[in-house]
Amino acid sequence: MDSGSGGTSHDDNAPVDLFLCHNGADKDWVRHLAEQVESETFDGRPDGRSLRVFFDEWDIDVGENVVLRLNDGLQRARYVGIVLSPDMLKAPWPALEWTDVVAGDPTNRRNRLIPIFFRDGTEKNGERIELPAPFKALHWLDFRQAKQFKSSYQRLIRKLRDKPPTRGRRRRPLASREDPATPIGVIEPDSPAAPDRINEVVLGNLLPVESYPTTIWSAPTGARDAEDIFARIEQPPPFELKGGRLLTFVDLSVRDNVFSPLIDARAVTPAAIQQWRDDPDRMRWFIGLLNRCLHQHLRRLYLKRDDRGRYFFLSDRGNPRKVVNPGDPAREVAAKKTNASTGAEFWVHQAAWLRFQSLGDSLYLLIDPCYVFTADGERPLVGRTVGPLSMQWTGKERNAAILRHVVFWTRFLGRGATKLEFHTGAAPIVLSGIPALARVNRGIDFDHIAVGSLLHQVEDELGRAAANVVLVDPAESDDDEEELAE
């Protein structure tokens, strides 16, 4: 029996390295994960035995006894990966699978269970996950964020190859009885090659938040998702839906507020942000609400957000786009380029990851500059080549160039003002227009950058970025690892 382009169907004599216990709500992501795992070999060699996954779509044929096939897969699998999500834990078939393993080894002494944490909230109503035993006590692989995919995936493959965790690198001893010889490459403080003892000020890529609404209002709502809200309110203030309640900075106790038609006004509850600081889940809700305010602000500035969370400048109706911040020269932020080897045309866009985050008791807006490549000025390109090359190019930029990007984005978001304000439906979020500073007592004397002059340096940055891109056929990128990470 053929299972499609992936190869043949189940072989009862073949070893099974991983049985994937999952729910249909997570099926697409699990399928991609299974495909990627089966693209690896047990020993890491190209000609080695391929790793094998038991996945119901491939291993249970039409007309076969489902229970017997599941039992066969569980019995033959060296490891059982439990794809954790609220939907999975409530579904009966996955429960049959993972409880069978737990019943035979309650404390996982044989180390056969591998918890794969995929989602901690439901897709529809944001219901939070409640981990049952034994998952609370087991060390899981965290796939909840796209940026964690690669490191968690490598740990999974290392486990399937039966290799132990890699220990940390050896460092110079600090508590030896005899003073060790100075290792090559370590510069003594008094050496002529050591950094100068001067006071330096280093600019970061975090904008400090100076003030924000201190109360979140919530109320029960019949809205099941954001579309229900937008269907009733054309341009609602930022909001979140969590556990059947609407969260917002808008004072819901005020009669005839904008959300009145959608909430139960008899059960309105205010919560001080200070009371949420010790609750990680509620702090995530708060940060999520701040990012909703940010997203609304950025949409007004004619920026688009791609599937990876990057905000980028759109073309000017199919023409190159330039931005002029007050007092600064014009800067090209979207331009059509041509691949030198193939003649194919594509677009390069100035872009950035922009999001609020908390550090200690303080809040900041993170500005992480990057580039986005599109086919037509709007649709981002995907593939094995575009992503790595764009990141590789960015990593080679000089410090001054990256700082210029951060300063540009800061001035663009605030339209040149010293303070940035984002609307919330209540008191605005106010940020400093000056990135956070770090003071150090070491540096290179006379090596200073005049920040004000950075934006007056004219360089063809989009052209330099485009020179590092090799376009690929979109059909070749269907199984790209970025698709797995989304």
Partners of 272 in the beta sheet? 215
pLDDT band at 165 (very low <50, low <70, confident <90, very high): confident
pLDDT band at 194 (very low <50, low <70, confident <90, very high): low
Average pLDDT, the chain: 81
pLDDT tens for 267-316 read 999 999 988 888 888 999 999 999 999 999 998 888 999 988 999 999 99
The pTM (predicted TM-score) of the whole model is 0.54
Residue 460 has pLDDT above 70, yes or no: no
Residue 197 has pLDDT above 70, yes or no: no
pLDDT value of residue 147: 82
pLDDT value of residue 175: 79
pLDDT value of residue 396: 45
pLDDT band at 391 (very low <50, low <70, confident <90, very high): very low
Alpha carbon distance 312, 348 (integer Å): 10
28-32, 47-51, 390-394, range with the lowest pLDDT: 390-394
pLDDT value of residue 196: 57
Relative to beta strand 77-84, strand 16-21 is: parallel
Continuous H helices in 161-279: 226-232, 273-276
> What integer is the mean pLDDT of 225-232?
92
Q: Which residue has the higher pLDDT, 269 or 439?
A: 269
Are 120 and 61 in contact by the 8 Å Cβ rule? The answer is: no
pLDDT value of residue 173: 79
pLDDT value of residue 484: 42
Residue 17 has pLDDT above 70, yes or no: yes
pLDDT band at 59 (very low <50, low <70, confident <90, very high): very high
pLDDT band at 134 (very low <50, low <70, confident <90, very high): confident
pLDDT tens for 232-265 read 998 999 999 998 999 999 999 998 999 999 999 9
Residue 388 has pLDDT above 70, yes or no: no
> What integer is the mean pLDDT of 370-387?
77
Q: Within 10 A of 289 (CB to CB), how many other CB atoms are there?
A: 22
Residue 477 has pLDDT above 50, yes or no: no
pLDDT band at 480 (very low <50, low <70, confident <90, very high): very low
% of the chain beyond a pLDDT of 70 = 77
pLDDT value of residue 66: 93
Q: Which residue has the higher pLDDT, 452 or 280?
A: 280
Residues written for the chain: 486
Residue 28 has pLDDT above 50, yes or no: yes
Tokens of 43: 């020993």
Spell out the domains of the chain, with CATH numbers in brackets: 16-160 (3.40.50.10140), 207-485 (no CATH)
> What integer is the mean pLDDT of 3-13?
51
Q: How many contiguous H segments (helices) and E segments (strands) does the chain have?
A: 14, 20
Are 370 and 352 in contact by the 8 Å Cβ rule? The answer is: yes
Alpha carbon distance 441, 127 (integer Å): 49
Tokens of 413: 């978001």
pLDDT tens for 103-132 read 988 888 888 999 999 988 766 666 777 888
Are 412 and 333 in contact by the 8 Å Cβ rule? The answer is: no
Rg for the chain, CA atoms, rounded: 27
pLDDT band at 4 (very low <50, low <70, confident <90, very high): very low
pLDDT value of residue 459: 54
* Phi, psi (deg, nearest 5) at residue 307: -65, -20
